[in-house]
Amino acid sequence: MTRARETLISLDATPYYHCISRCVRRAWLCGEDPYTGQSFEHRRQWVLDRLRELADIFAIDVCAYAILSNHFHLVLHVDADKAKGWTDLQIIEQWTRLYKSHMLADRYIAGEMMSKAELAALSELIEEWRQRLYDISWFMRCMNEHLALKANAEDNCKGRFWEGRFKSQALLDEGAVLTCMSYVDLNPIRAGLAKTPERSDFTSIQERIQAYVSQKRSSIPKHGKTTPPTKLYPFKRPCEKVPAHTIDFELNDYLRLVDWTGCAIRDDKKGSIPADLAPVLQRLGLNPDTWLTSVKHYNRHYYSVLGAIDRIKAYAEVQKKCWHRGQKAAQECYRHIVV
Protein backbone atom coordinates (compact mmCIF):
# COMPACT_ATOMS: atom_id res chain seq x y z
CA MET A 1 0.00 0.00 0.00
CA THR A 2 1.31 3.45 -0.92
CA ARG A 3 2.26 5.58 2.06
CA ALA A 4 2.23 9.36 2.40
CA ARG A 5 5.65 10.89 1.74
CA GLU A 6 5.66 12.68 5.10
CA THR A 7 5.63 9.28 6.82
CA LEU A 8 8.65 8.14 4.78
CA ILE A 9 10.83 11.24 5.18
CA SER A 10 11.48 12.39 8.73
CA LEU A 11 14.30 14.84 9.35
CA ASP A 12 14.08 14.00 13.05
CA ALA A 13 15.27 10.50 12.16
CA THR A 14 17.94 11.40 9.59
CA PRO A 15 18.92 14.14 7.13
CA TYR A 16 20.18 11.54 4.60
CA TYR A 17 17.96 9.96 1.94
CA HIS A 18 18.45 7.81 -1.14
CA CYS A 19 16.02 8.82 -3.93
CA ILE A 20 15.27 7.04 -7.20
CA SER A 21 13.19 8.14 -10.20
CA ARG A 22 12.42 5.77 -13.05
CA CYS A 23 10.87 6.40 -16.48
CA VAL A 24 7.47 5.03 -17.45
CA ARG A 25 6.09 3.45 -20.69
CA ARG A 26 9.52 2.09 -21.76
CA ALA A 27 10.63 5.71 -22.05
CA TRP A 28 14.34 6.43 -22.26
CA LEU A 29 15.81 9.10 -20.06
CA CYS A 30 19.32 8.75 -21.49
CA GLY A 31 21.43 6.40 -23.58
CA GLU A 32 20.33 4.66 -26.78
CA ASP A 33 16.94 3.02 -27.25
CA PRO A 34 17.71 -0.49 -28.60
CA TYR A 35 14.27 -0.71 -30.21
CA THR A 36 14.47 2.48 -32.29
CA GLY A 37 18.21 3.14 -32.32
CA GLN A 38 17.54 6.72 -31.25
CA SER A 39 20.15 8.24 -28.94
CA PHE A 40 19.15 10.23 -25.87
CA GLU A 41 22.69 10.49 -24.53
CA HIS A 42 22.52 14.29 -24.40
CA ARG A 43 19.81 14.07 -21.74
CA ARG A 44 22.33 12.94 -19.14
CA GLN A 45 23.70 16.47 -19.19
CA TRP A 46 20.17 17.80 -18.71
CA VAL A 47 19.88 15.79 -15.51
CA LEU A 48 23.28 16.84 -14.22
CA ASP A 49 22.74 20.52 -15.05
CA ARG A 50 19.37 20.55 -13.30
CA LEU A 51 20.78 18.70 -10.30
CA ARG A 52 23.56 21.26 -9.87
CA GLU A 53 21.11 24.12 -10.29
CA LEU A 54 18.76 22.79 -7.62
CA ALA A 55 21.62 22.05 -5.22
CA ASP A 56 22.52 25.73 -5.47
CA ILE A 57 18.94 26.83 -4.75
CA PHE A 58 17.75 24.38 -2.09
CA ALA A 59 19.28 23.77 1.32
CA ILE A 60 19.86 20.20 0.15
CA ASP A 61 23.30 18.74 -0.61
CA VAL A 62 24.10 16.06 -3.17
CA CYS A 63 26.28 13.30 -1.69
CA ALA A 64 26.14 10.92 -4.65
CA TYR A 65 24.41 10.46 -7.99
CA ALA A 66 24.28 8.05 -10.92
CA ILE A 67 22.42 8.85 -14.15
CA LEU A 68 21.48 5.71 -16.10
CA SER A 69 19.43 4.99 -19.23
CA ASN A 70 15.94 4.93 -17.73
CA HIS A 71 16.41 6.05 -14.12
CA PHE A 72 18.69 7.98 -11.80
CA HIS A 73 19.85 7.66 -8.20
CA LEU A 74 20.54 10.47 -5.74
CA VAL A 75 21.88 10.43 -2.19
CA LEU A 76 20.77 13.68 -0.59
CA HIS A 77 21.56 15.48 2.67
CA VAL A 78 19.02 17.98 4.00
CA ASP A 79 20.52 21.02 5.76
CA ALA A 80 17.42 22.38 7.51
CA ASP A 81 19.48 24.71 9.72
CA LYS A 82 20.88 26.40 6.62
CA ALA A 83 17.40 27.23 5.32
CA LYS A 84 16.24 28.34 8.75
CA GLY A 85 19.21 30.71 8.90
CA TRP A 86 18.44 32.42 5.60
CA THR A 87 17.02 35.93 5.80
CA ASP A 88 13.61 36.73 4.34
CA LEU A 89 15.32 38.39 1.40
CA GLN A 90 17.47 35.31 0.75
CA ILE A 91 14.38 33.09 0.81
CA ILE A 92 12.67 35.30 -1.76
CA GLU A 93 15.77 35.32 -3.96
CA GLN A 94 16.19 31.54 -3.82
CA TRP A 95 12.53 30.71 -4.43
CA THR A 96 12.10 33.12 -7.33
CA ARG A 97 14.96 31.40 -9.14
CA LEU A 98 12.48 28.54 -9.53
CA TYR A 99 9.05 30.10 -9.66
CA LYS A 100 7.36 33.40 -10.43
CA SER A 101 7.46 35.88 -7.57
CA HIS A 102 4.48 37.12 -5.56
CA MET A 103 3.17 40.68 -5.57
CA LEU A 104 3.87 41.10 -1.84
CA ALA A 105 7.44 39.85 -2.27
CA ASP A 106 7.99 42.27 -5.15
CA ARG A 107 6.75 45.18 -3.05
CA TYR A 108 8.95 44.12 -0.12
CA ILE A 109 12.06 44.00 -2.32
CA ALA A 110 11.18 47.38 -3.82
CA GLY A 111 11.04 48.87 -0.31
CA GLU A 112 7.41 49.96 -0.56
CA MET A 113 5.33 50.76 2.51
CA MET A 114 3.21 47.78 3.58
CA SER A 115 0.40 47.41 6.10
CA LYS A 116 0.61 45.09 9.11
CA ALA A 117 -1.79 42.68 7.40
CA GLU A 118 0.33 42.62 4.26
CA LEU A 119 3.52 42.07 6.25
CA ALA A 120 1.85 39.22 8.16
CA ALA A 121 0.71 37.62 4.90
CA LEU A 122 4.21 38.02 3.44
CA SER A 123 5.77 36.48 6.54
CA GLU A 124 3.49 33.46 6.20
CA LEU A 125 4.33 33.15 2.51
CA ILE A 126 8.08 33.36 3.17
CA GLU A 127 7.83 30.69 5.87
CA GLU A 128 6.05 28.41 3.39
CA TRP A 129 8.80 28.99 0.82
CA ARG A 130 11.48 28.41 3.49
CA GLN A 131 10.05 25.00 4.38
CA ARG A 132 9.85 24.02 0.72
CA LEU A 133 13.51 24.94 0.23
CA TYR A 134 14.60 22.08 2.51
CA ASP A 135 11.88 19.65 1.46
CA ILE A 136 13.07 16.62 -0.54
CA SER A 137 9.65 16.22 -2.15
CA TRP A 138 9.86 19.75 -3.56
CA PHE A 139 13.45 19.15 -4.67
CA MET A 140 12.44 16.03 -6.58
CA ARG A 141 9.33 17.72 -7.95
CA CYS A 142 11.44 20.54 -9.39
CA MET A 143 13.85 17.96 -10.77
CA ASN A 144 11.35 15.63 -12.40
CA GLU A 145 8.83 18.15 -13.72
CA HIS A 146 11.61 20.05 -15.49
CA LEU A 147 13.06 16.91 -17.09
CA ALA A 148 9.64 15.53 -18.07
CA LEU A 149 8.68 18.76 -19.84
CA LYS A 150 11.96 18.83 -21.80
CA ALA A 151 11.81 15.14 -22.71
CA ASN A 152 8.15 15.23 -23.76
CA ALA A 153 8.77 18.34 -25.85
CA GLU A 154 11.68 16.62 -27.59
CA ASP A 155 9.63 13.43 -28.10
CA ASN A 156 6.67 15.51 -29.29
CA CYS A 157 4.29 13.75 -26.93
CA LYS A 158 2.27 14.31 -23.77
CA GLY A 159 1.56 12.31 -20.65
CA ARG A 160 3.50 10.89 -17.75
CA PHE A 161 7.22 10.50 -18.18
CA TRP A 162 8.04 9.14 -14.71
CA GLU A 163 6.92 5.88 -13.12
CA GLY A 164 4.78 7.43 -10.38
CA ARG A 165 6.38 9.38 -7.59
CA PHE A 166 10.03 8.97 -6.71
CA LYS A 167 11.12 6.27 -4.27
CA SER A 168 12.93 7.24 -1.09
CA GLN A 169 15.02 5.32 1.42
CA ALA A 170 16.03 6.62 4.83
CA LEU A 171 19.75 6.26 5.65
CA LEU A 172 19.81 6.25 9.44
CA ASP A 173 23.55 6.44 10.16
CA GLU A 174 26.94 7.02 8.54
CA GLY A 175 27.35 3.32 7.83
CA ALA A 176 24.15 3.38 5.80
CA VAL A 177 25.32 6.50 3.96
CA LEU A 178 28.65 4.85 3.04
CA THR A 179 26.97 1.65 1.86
CA CYS A 180 24.35 3.47 -0.21
CA MET A 181 26.82 5.93 -1.76
CA SER A 182 29.05 3.04 -2.80
CA TYR A 183 26.09 1.23 -4.35
CA VAL A 184 25.02 4.35 -6.27
CA ASP A 185 28.53 5.18 -7.48
CA LEU A 186 29.11 1.60 -8.64
CA ASN A 187 25.81 1.23 -10.53
CA PRO A 188 27.42 1.50 -14.00
CA ILE A 189 29.96 -1.21 -13.08
CA ARG A 190 27.23 -3.50 -11.73
CA ALA A 191 25.28 -2.95 -14.96
CA GLY A 192 28.34 -3.69 -17.11
CA LEU A 193 28.40 -0.16 -18.53
CA ALA A 194 31.87 0.69 -17.20
CA LYS A 195 34.93 -1.18 -15.97
CA THR A 196 36.29 1.33 -13.45
CA PRO A 197 34.85 4.14 -11.29
CA GLU A 198 36.81 6.80 -13.17
CA ARG A 199 35.20 5.64 -16.42
CA SER A 200 31.69 5.59 -14.98
CA ASP A 201 30.24 8.57 -16.81
CA PHE A 202 27.72 10.84 -15.12
CA THR A 203 28.38 9.56 -11.61
CA SER A 204 29.51 11.42 -8.53
CA ILE A 205 32.50 9.08 -8.10
CA GLN A 206 33.83 10.10 -11.52
CA GLU A 207 33.35 13.76 -10.64
CA ARG A 208 35.15 13.34 -7.31
CA ILE A 209 38.04 11.42 -8.91
CA GLN A 210 38.48 14.04 -11.63
CA ALA A 211 38.54 16.82 -9.04
CA TYR A 212 40.96 14.83 -6.87
CA VAL A 213 43.37 14.21 -9.78
CA SER A 214 43.12 17.83 -10.90
CA GLN A 215 43.93 19.01 -7.39
CA LYS A 216 46.92 16.68 -7.12
CA ARG A 217 48.35 18.09 -10.33
CA SER A 218 47.96 21.70 -9.23
CA SER A 219 50.11 23.48 -6.66
CA ILE A 220 48.27 23.12 -3.37
CA PRO A 221 49.35 23.37 0.29
CA LYS A 222 50.70 20.19 1.84
CA HIS A 223 48.28 20.14 4.78
CA GLY A 224 46.13 17.35 3.31
CA LYS A 225 43.06 19.49 2.67
CA THR A 226 40.85 18.17 -0.12
CA THR A 227 38.55 20.50 -1.96
CA PRO A 228 35.27 18.82 -3.01
CA PRO A 229 33.87 19.13 -6.52
CA THR A 230 31.37 21.95 -6.87
CA LYS A 231 27.90 21.06 -5.61
CA LEU A 232 28.88 17.74 -4.02
CA TYR A 233 28.68 17.35 -0.24
CA PRO A 234 32.28 17.10 1.02
CA PHE A 235 33.99 14.37 2.99
CA LYS A 236 35.68 15.26 6.25
CA ARG A 237 39.30 16.38 6.18
CA PRO A 238 42.11 14.13 7.45
CA CYS A 239 42.46 14.18 11.26
CA GLU A 240 39.25 16.17 11.64
CA LYS A 241 37.78 14.85 14.90
CA VAL A 242 34.39 16.57 14.83
CA PRO A 243 33.43 17.06 11.19
CA ALA A 244 31.03 19.93 10.54
CA HIS A 245 28.84 19.85 7.44
CA THR A 246 30.77 16.92 5.96
CA ILE A 247 30.35 13.18 5.43
CA ASP A 248 32.00 11.40 8.36
CA PHE A 249 34.81 9.60 6.50
CA GLU A 250 37.74 10.73 4.40
CA LEU A 251 37.77 11.07 0.63
CA ASN A 252 40.96 9.01 0.18
CA ASP A 253 39.46 6.11 2.13
CA TYR A 254 36.25 6.31 0.13
CA LEU A 255 38.02 6.33 -3.23
CA ARG A 256 40.13 3.30 -2.28
CA LEU A 257 37.11 1.45 -0.91
CA VAL A 258 34.98 2.09 -4.00
CA ASP A 259 37.87 1.16 -6.30
CA TRP A 260 38.42 -2.19 -4.57
CA THR A 261 34.68 -2.91 -4.40
CA GLY A 262 34.24 -2.05 -8.07
CA CYS A 263 37.05 -4.41 -9.09
CA ALA A 264 35.57 -7.20 -6.97
CA ILE A 265 32.11 -6.73 -8.51
CA ARG A 266 33.46 -6.50 -12.07
CA ASP A 267 35.63 -9.61 -11.73
CA ASP A 268 33.05 -11.44 -9.59
CA LYS A 269 35.58 -12.00 -6.81
CA LYS A 270 34.77 -13.24 -3.31
CA GLY A 271 37.97 -12.17 -1.58
CA SER A 272 38.21 -10.49 1.80
CA ILE A 273 38.38 -6.74 2.02
CA PRO A 274 41.98 -5.42 2.28
CA ALA A 275 43.28 -5.16 5.85
CA ASP A 276 43.92 -1.42 5.58
CA LEU A 277 40.30 -0.74 4.57
CA ALA A 278 38.61 -2.92 7.17
CA PRO A 279 39.06 -0.34 9.98
CA VAL A 280 37.20 2.25 7.87
CA LEU A 281 34.14 0.01 7.89
CA GLN A 282 34.52 -1.11 11.49
CA ARG A 283 34.64 2.47 12.74
CA LEU A 284 31.17 2.95 11.25
CA GLY A 285 29.92 -0.30 12.74
CA LEU A 286 29.90 -2.17 9.42
CA ASN A 287 30.89 -5.80 8.98
CA PRO A 288 33.89 -6.12 6.58
CA ASP A 289 32.99 -9.77 5.90
CA THR A 290 29.60 -8.87 4.41
CA TRP A 291 30.54 -5.54 2.80
CA LEU A 292 30.80 -6.82 -0.77
CA THR A 293 27.46 -8.62 -0.57
CA SER A 294 25.82 -5.54 0.95
CA VAL A 295 26.87 -3.34 -1.97
CA LYS A 296 26.52 -5.91 -4.76
CA HIS A 297 22.99 -6.94 -3.76
CA TYR A 298 21.92 -3.65 -2.19
CA ASN A 299 18.70 -3.29 -4.18
CA ARG A 300 17.58 -6.82 -3.23
CA HIS A 301 18.30 -6.52 0.48
CA TYR A 302 17.34 -3.02 1.55
CA TYR A 303 14.03 -1.28 1.03
CA SER A 304 12.63 1.89 2.63
CA VAL A 305 15.30 2.14 5.32
CA LEU A 306 18.90 1.15 6.10
CA GLY A 307 20.83 1.46 9.33
CA ALA A 308 21.91 -0.40 12.45
CA ILE A 309 19.14 -2.67 13.71
CA ASP A 310 18.48 -0.60 16.86
CA ARG A 311 18.01 2.53 14.73
CA ILE A 312 15.65 0.71 12.37
CA LYS A 313 13.53 -0.47 15.29
CA ALA A 314 13.40 3.06 16.73
CA TYR A 315 12.48 4.41 13.29
CA ALA A 316 9.69 1.82 13.00
CA GLU A 317 8.30 2.81 16.40
CA VAL A 318 8.11 6.47 15.39
CA GLN A 319 6.24 5.42 12.25
CA LYS A 320 3.99 3.15 14.34
CA LYS A 321 5.16 0.08 12.48
CA CYS A 322 6.20 -3.26 13.92
CA TRP A 323 9.09 -3.79 11.52
CA HIS A 324 10.71 -2.78 8.24
CA ARG A 325 11.63 -5.04 5.32
CA GLY A 326 15.35 -5.67 5.15
CA GLN A 327 16.01 -5.89 8.89
CA LYS A 328 17.70 -9.29 8.58
CA ALA A 329 20.01 -8.03 5.82
CA ALA A 330 20.76 -4.90 7.84
CA GLN A 331 21.68 -7.05 10.82
CA GLU A 332 24.23 -8.89 8.67
CA CYS A 333 25.52 -5.63 7.17
CA TYR A 334 26.49 -4.34 10.61
CA ARG A 335 29.00 -6.16 12.77
CA HIS A 336 27.81 -7.69 16.01
CA ILE A 337 29.20 -5.93 19.06
CA VAL A 338 29.21 -7.78 22.36
CA VAL A 339 29.02 -5.37 25.30
pLDDT in tens, 282-338: 999 999 999 999 999 998 888 889 999 889 888 888 777 766 777 888 888 987 543
The strand pair at 71-78 and 247-250 is best described as unpaired
pLDDT in tens, 78-130: 999 999 999 999 999 999 999 999 999 999 999 999 999 999 999 999 999 99
Q: Provide the 10 A C-beta neighbour count for residue 188.
A: 23
pLDDT in tens, 198-234: 999 999 999 999 998 888 777 555 555 555 555 799 9
Domains of the chain: 8-81+136-333 (3.30.70.1290), 87-132 (no CATH)
Residue 5, pLDDT above cutoff 60: no
Residues in the chain: 339
End-to-end CA distance of the chain: 39
Cα angle at 305 between 338 and 182, to 5 degrees?
85
